[in-house]
Amino acid sequence: MLPDNKGYFGDYGGRFVPETLVPALNELTEAYEEAKADSTFWAEFDSLSRHYSGRPTPLYLAHGLSKHCGGAQIFLKREDLAHTGAHKINNALGQGLLARRMGKRRIIAETGAGQHGVATAAVCAMLGLQCIIYMGEEDMRRQSLNVFRMKLMGAEVRPVSGGSRTLKDAINEAIRDWVTNPRDSYYLLGSVVGPYPYPSMVRDFQSIIGKETRQQILDEFGRLPDYIIACVGGGSNAIGIFYPFLDDKDVKLIGVEAAGKGLNTGEHAASLAAGSVGVLHGAKSYLLQDGDGQIRETHSVSAGLDYPGVGPEHSYLKDTGRATYVAVSDKEALEGFQLLCRTEGITPALEPAHAIFHAAKMAGSLKKEQIIVVNLSGRGDKDMDIVAEALGVKP
């Protein structure tokens, strides 16, 4: 079972954090292990997943998209229909319940696209917890609608002006807050990144996506899919859907990173496709860095993928070959976005639009009886301004 007791997936993971946080991480690991073994914890998680988040989310056969591509049948795991509009609610709910159980009433979190921030703000409002969200100034500009949503739900949104003013810097600032307030605060990290136990804990909460998918496809077709495709920034929606299929060797797992303006331009966010091993935000993993170990600035049209690192378990899956990782550009993602709007009447977030593009590209060369599942990790309402701008229209 991975990770090992030091939080490693093979060579990746671990805990590269200031001493102040090591005891806090020990406390968190212990509390999570205890909760994990407690059926009442999961009973509450399941109940709220159903009645608050709206789970299970449907697994939808995208007839129009499949017909358009003229090959494999494409299914969409509709995380866009989950409460707050993305898969992020699964993890926010799980960790929110854990924080309350630990008696921590001040929640800090980072957000990129704003989906994790909104999910955290929602869970905090529902559980009566104080909520502080760090968000890069550039992302606040790109995702102003989500900033407003967080504030409506009572969260305090703190702008981060350091570095590239995006997700990476928001995580730095959230960690600085946690170093300052380790005793009374809970850091609700939003992806499968960061020091142990976050990569495995966030995976566990997100693996509900894959468990449902497995059950749904078996119920309907009596067999497992041939391909599962998901976008990868930090990689939580991808791990969430991949994890329950790891032992099913015939199910091919494909992660889709952001190629931004193109891998050869240097303006992208594809840590697995074009990065090298290093340490960022407390874990050893693939990341985008220069020859001196300085973290590079990244670019993606989607704020949620605009991150120079990736979860350590993805690095492990890449090296072992259990999953493969490809990269899709801004332009292609916008094509995927429009394609799903036209063929299905579904507006995806720009993040899964990367996965949609790759699935559509693959489907044509596959046989009709083959099955692709795409994790449609979020809905696109938040991205309307960006898409309009990119397409050169004023909505």
Q: Which residues are marked as active site? A: 88, 110, 377
Contact 348, 379 (CB under 8 A): yes
Per rule CB under 8 A, is residue 168 in the interface with other proteins? yes
Instruction: Please state, in angstroms and rounded to a whole number, the distance separating the CA atoms of residues 14 and 377.
Output: 27
Q: Among 71, 154, 163, 266, which residue interacts with other proteins (rule: CB under 8 A)?
A: 163
Per rule CB under 8 A, is residue 291 in the interface with other proteins? yes
Per rule CB under 8 A, is residue 217 in the interface with other proteins? no
Per rule CB under 8 A, is residue 30 in the interface with other proteins? no
Instruction: Please state, in angstroms and rounded to a whole number, the distance separating the CA atoms of residues 163 and 136.
Output: 9
Q: Among 106, 176, 211, 252, which residue interacts with other proteins (rule: CB under 8 A)?
A: 176
Per rule CB under 8 A, is residue 102 in the interface with other proteins? no
Nearer to other proteins, 65 or 287 (CB): 287
C-alpha distance across the termini of the chain, in Å: 50
Per rule CB under 8 A, is residue 282 in the interface with other proteins? yes
Which residue do the tokens 């929110």 mark? 96
Which residue do the tokens 């566990």 mark? 204
Per rule CB under 8 A, is residue 66 in the interface with other proteins? no
Smallest distance from the beta carbon of 312 to other proteins, in angstroms? 13
Smallest distance from the beta carbon of 340 to other proteins, in angstroms? 35
Alpha helix positions (H), the chain: 21-36, 39-51, 63-69, 88-101, 115-127, 137-142, 144-152, 167-180, 198-206, 208-221, 236-242, 271-274, 312-320, 330-344, 350-363, 384-390
Contact 188, 108 (CB under 8 A): yes
Applying CB under 8 A, the span of 11-19, 118-126, 237-245, 312-320 interacting with other proteins comes to 11-19
Coil, helix or strand at residue 112? coil
Applying CB under 8 A, the span of 92-100, 130-138, 145-153, 175-183 interacting with other proteins comes to 175-183
# residues contacting other proteins (CB under 8 A): 35
Under DSSP, the state recorded for 294 is: P
Nearest to 274 by CA among 260, 263, 290, 261: 263
Q: Which residues pair with 107 in a beta bridge?
A: 131, 186
Smallest distance from the beta carbon of 13 to other proteins, in angstroms? 10
Applying CB under 8 A, the span of 103-111, 168-176, 203-211, 359-367 interacting with other proteins comes to 168-176
Per rule CB under 8 A, is residue 175 in the interface with other proteins? yes
Contact residues: other proteins, CB under 8 A: 6, 14-24, 162-163, 168-169, 172, 175-176, 179-183, 278-282, 289, 291-295
